[in-house]
């Protein structure tokens, strides 16, 4: 009988970090589950994100950065992990060196190439990834470029889009958090420039002041719908004539739906 792969995802998410790290780890974990694998998430950051992960059916443990290595290794031994996938800018070269002696496969989702990565596998699905100067170990393998971007399963479907003669609907989404309050300004700028369009505004799970955002939406002239942590954002993207967004994972999701 074939052994089912057991993977630990060591990732991070918070208001100042956003949700991108967690989202792409979830995308990979969902794909592994289809193949019969099991995953556990080791999360550094906002404990509320544990609920987002557990809603997808994955066990989650909260990690404190002060005892990160010891805690991570303890969980890897507890779950008899075959591979660890790390996705966090806070993890240092020494962290990965400590993992190598315990976990058979150490993979890193990294889009900075700002430190040595003595690991088994480096994955970067961003455009221009193959131009970065990664410093891995002698046997490190690299999967670089948009063919390796990690998107949620629904984005694997080919989009069916319809181009209107004029902009009627705009999607505004800056990601899982909005620490600089950009969403409210995008609503007002859009209303000033295109007062007759409908705005679909996405509020992520780490937004800090949703009530204030709703108040701004009530005071502009246009038609605005607030979507709080929507489960099906692909439909919103397909219905939009254009999107105003933050960078990161959302950019690639919009590309996958053919949304300008």
> Digits of tens for pLDDT over the chain (260 positions)?
467 899 999 999 998 888 999 999 999 999 999 999 999 999 998 888 999 999 999 999 999 888 899 999 999 999 999 999 999 999 999 999 999 888 999 999 999 999 999 999 999 999 999 999 999 999 999 999 999 999 998 999 889 888 899 999 999 999 999 999 999 999 999 999 998 899 999 999 999 888 889 898 888 878 999 999 898 899 999 999 999 998 889 999 999 999 99
- Picking from 125, 124, 67, the residue whose alpha carbon sits closest to that of residue 98 is 67
Q: CB-hemisphere CA count at 13 Å for 252?
A: 21
Q: Which two tokens stand for residue 124?
A: 């970067």
- pLDDT in the model for residue 2: 60
- pLDDT in the model for residue 67: 85
- Picking from 19, 47, 22, 56, the residue whose alpha carbon sits closest to that of residue 203 is 19
Helix, coil or strand: residue 133: coil
Helix, coil or strand: residue 71: helix
Cβ atoms 150, 224 nearer than 8 A: no
Q: How far apart are CA 88 and CA 15, in angstroms?
A: 14
> Which residues lie below 8 Å from residue 216, measured CB to CB, with a gap of 6+?
184, 187, 188
Cβ atoms 152, 27 nearer than 8 A: yes
- pLDDT in the model for residue 222: 80
- pLDDT in the model for residue 72: 95
Cβ atoms 49, 80 nearer than 8 A: no
The model's pTM is 0.92
């Amino acid at each position: 009988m074939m052994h089912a792969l057991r993977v630990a995802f060591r990732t991070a998410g918070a208001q100042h970090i956003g949700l991108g790290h967690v989202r792409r780890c979830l995308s990979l974990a969902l794909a592994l589950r289809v193949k019969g694998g099991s995953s556990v998430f080791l999360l550094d950051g906002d404990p509320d994100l544990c609920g987002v992960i557990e809603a997808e059916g994955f066990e989650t443990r909260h990690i404190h950065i002060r005892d990160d290595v010891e805690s991570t290794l303890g969980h890897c031994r507890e779950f008899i992990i075959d591979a660890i996938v790390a996705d966090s800018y806070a993890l240092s070269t020494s962290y990965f060196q400590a993992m190598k002696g315990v976990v058979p496969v150490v993979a890193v989702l990294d889009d900075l190439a700002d430190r040595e990565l003595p690991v088994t596998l480096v994955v970067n699905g961003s455009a221009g990834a193959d131009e970065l100067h990664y410093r891995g170990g002698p046997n490190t393998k690299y999967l670089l470029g948009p063919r390796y971007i990690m998107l949620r399963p629904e984005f694997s479907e080919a989009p069916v889009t319809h181009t209107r003669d004029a902009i009627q609907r705009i999607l505004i989404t800056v990601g899982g958090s909005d620490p600089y309050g950009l969403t409210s300004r995008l609503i007002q700028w859009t209303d000033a420039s295109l007062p007759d369009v409908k705005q679909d505004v996405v509020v992520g799970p780490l937004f800090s002041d949703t009530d204030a955002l709703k108040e701004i939406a009530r005071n502009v002239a246009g038609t605005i719908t607030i979507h709080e942590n929507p489960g099906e954002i692909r439909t919103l993207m397909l219905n939009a004539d254009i999107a105003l967004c933050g960078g990161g994972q959302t950019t690639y999701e919009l590309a996958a739906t053919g949304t300008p």
